[in-house]
Amino acid sequence: MGCSSPEEPAIAGRTRTLPDTQGNATAGREIFFRKASPKCFICHAIGADKEKAGPNLQDVGTRYDRGELLDALLHPSRQIADGFSVQIIETQSQGLVVGVVARETPSLLIRNELGDEIAVSLDQVLSRRTSERSMMPDDLIDSLSDQDLLDLLAFLESLAGEPAR
Ligand code: HEC
Is the peptide bond between 163 and the residue preceding it cis, with omega within 30 degrees of 0? no
Structure confidence by residue, pLDDT tens digits, 104-120: 999 999 999 999 999 99
67 found inside a domain = yes
CATH of the domain at 112: 2.30.30
Q: Within 6 Å (CB) of ligand 1, which residues are found?
A: 38-40, 42-44, 53-55, 60, 69, 72-73, 76, 80-81, 84, 100, 113, 134-136, 140-141, 152, 156
Q: What percent of the chain has pLDDT over 70?
A: 90
Q: What CATH number has the domain bearing residue 35?
A: 1.10.760.10
Burial class from Cβ neighbours inside 10 Å (0-12, 13-18, 19+) for residue 5 reads exposed
Over the stretch 52-108, which tens digit does the pLDDT of each residue have? Answer: 999 999 999 999 999 999 999 999 999 999 999 999 999 999 999 999 999 999 999
Give yes or no: residues 30 and 73 share one domain. yes
CB-based contacts of 130, cutoff 8 Å, min separation 6:
85, 86, 87, 88
Taking residue 162's Cβ as centre, other Cβ atoms within 10 Å add up to 8
Q: Does residue 12 lie within any of the structural domains?
A: no
**Full-model pTM:** 0.91
Closest CA relative to residue 70, chosen from 136, 140, 131, 16: 16
- Distance (angstroms) between ligand 1 centre and the Cα of 6 equals 27
**Are residues 45 and 112 part of one domain?**
no
- Is residue 71 included in any domain, yes or no? yes
Residue type, 148: D
